[in-house]
Amino acid sequence: MGITARRRLKDIDRLSDFEAASRHYLPRAIFEYIRNGAGDEISLRRNRAVFDRWLWRPHRLNDVTRVSTNIRLFGEDYDLPFGIAPTGGAAVMRYDADRIEAREACRANVPYALSANSITPLEDIIRINPKSWFAAYLPSDEDVIDGIVDRVGRAGYRVLMITIDVPVAARRVAEIRAGYTMPIRLNWPAFAGGVARPGWIVGTLARTMIRTPNPRILNVLPEGGPGIFSREIGSVGGAAGFTWAHVARIRECWRGALVLKGILRGDDAARAATLGVDGIVVSDHGARLLDSAVAPLEVLGEVKAQAGEMTVLVDSGFRNGGDVLKGLALGADGVLIGRPMAQACALAGRDGVAFAIEMLGEEIRRTLGMLGVVGVETLSEAFLHDAGMV
């Protein structure tokens, strides 16, 4: 580990510490883009508060000399029960952030999903990490969808995740006030926040612009993609006209695992199962879209009950090993982590991501020991006491 990374990671004792630490390194507009939630951030707070509802009821006197943290998802084995969630716009956080996260996930053998909203071609990422998943934002035009799905398959991806919770553009106040815009435009708040962070200007902005003078969002079309400074970009996301009928059509032509990300209701899960979808992510997108939505953890049981044979993943608000295990105990097959991984990457690149994965893995092993559980697959609601929401 380099000296800079060691210095920056010195005071990181919990995954949630990455947020405050990254504030000192990132321009305010980008710090807020990662941190903030939609509207009044009611869901952002609830995504954390909901974990207080569930308290552990540990078993005693079980032999926990060796505990197993392995999971199997979509035909692949992983060493830890969590993965790196897709984060669009990763290149603004750190030079080459997509490649860094893909590589570190591969090294640690944890799931990783590339966002469609990225300036790194999806073909490069699957070469770095052959187990990568692709998280698509799809339009409603069937020819364009066919082109994207075909491209993803030809590149070698075996898991296609469709992000289904952004039918219209989201609005997040803190990032707007800090000057974050898409397309990227220089404005006073962004400028003022940027000059205060020369390390980011040299290390991320300048390096990115030298390598890619006109960065484009390269994974939202069958080929090419809109430039991040151009008006054609609009706001990257799904499409208002994208519906279940599109999912049914994609299911017919996509032979790999098909995953829908953004389910928050049991009846939607049941509908996905009838269409032959392989997995769902119970998610409110980290509270970045619809404020005052239910927290994924509080509907996980209902969704799982109607998910049939589908793999059920969950994300939004998971910040320590105990949180991950609560997700599994409540029925999830795996958990995705968003902001902390992005902030770790912003702060210390590959060392930051490796450190975050290792720290979370260690917390999971310790919590399993404390619970008297030898393997994550034996967790169930019987280990939890429902104290109700406070």
Size of the site for ligand FMN (CB under 6 A): 25
> Least distance in Å: CB of 382 to ligand FMN?
26
Among 337, 344, 345, 364, binds ligand FMN (CB under 6 A): 337
Which DSSP helix (H) or strand (E) runs through 54? strand 54-56
Burial 37-70 (b: 16+ CB within 10 A, else e): bbbebebbebbbebbebbeeeeeeeeebeebebe
The length of the chain in residues reads 390
In terms of CB distance, is 86 or 331 closer to ligand FMN? 86
**Interface with ligand FMN includes 193 (CB under 6 A)?**
no
The CA-based angle 315-238-43, given to 5 degrees, is 40
Strands 71-73 and 76-78 turn out to be antiparallel
Choose the binding region for ligand FMN from 101-109, 215-223, 338-346, 363-371 (rule: CB under 6 A): 338-346
Q: How far apart are the first and last CA of the chain?
A: 42
Mapped onto helix, strand or coil, the DSSP state of residue 317 is coil
Residue listed under structure tokens 């750190």: 94
Q: Which stretch binds ligand FMN (CB under 6 A): 5-13, 120-128, 210-218, 279-287?
A: 279-287
* Residue from 317, 322, 327, 352 binding ligand FMN (CB under 6 A): 317
Q: Distance of CA 213 to CAs 118, 119, 227, 228, Å? A: 15, 12, 10, 11
Which structure tokens are listed for 127? 């070469």
Assess 343 for contact with ligand FMN (CB under 6 A): no
115 vs 129 by CB, closer to ligand FMN: 115
Give the nearer residue to ligand FMN in terms of CB position, either 36 or 367. 36
Mark residue 81 as left, alpha or beta (left: phi above 0; alpha: psi -120 to 50; beta: remaining).
alpha
Q: What are 299's two structure tokens?
A: 């509907």
- Which residue stretch of 82-90, 94-102, 175-183, 209-217 sits at the interface with ligand FMN (rule: CB under 6 A)? 82-90
Verify binding: residue 327, ligand FMN, rule CB under 6 A: no
- Distance CA(59)–CA(39), nearest Å, equals 42
Looking at 73, 85, 108, 228, which residue binds ligand FMN (CB under 6 A)?
85
Q: Which of residues 117-176 bind ligand FMN (CB under 6 A)?
A: 117, 135, 163
37 binds ligand FMN (CB under 6 A): no
Of the residues 43, 219, 283, 320, which one makes contact with ligand FMN according to CB under 6 A = 283
Stretch that binds ligand FMN, among 71-79, 141-149, 190-198, 313-321 (CB under 6 A): 313-321
Distance, CA of 322 to CA of 326 (rounded, Å): 6
CB 369 within 8 Å of CB 348:
no
* Phi (first) and psi of residue 318, to 5 degrees: -75, 120
In the complex, minimum distance from the CB of residue 336 to ligand FMN, in angstroms, rounded to a whole number: 6
Find the binding residues for ligand FMN in span 197-256 (CB under 6 A): none
Sites for ligand FMN among residues 254-273 (CB under 6 A):
261
Q: Which residues are catalytic?
A: 285
Interface positions with ligand FMN (CB under 6 A): 33-34, 47, 85-89, 115, 117, 135, 163, 261, 283, 285-286, 288, 315-318, 337-339, 342
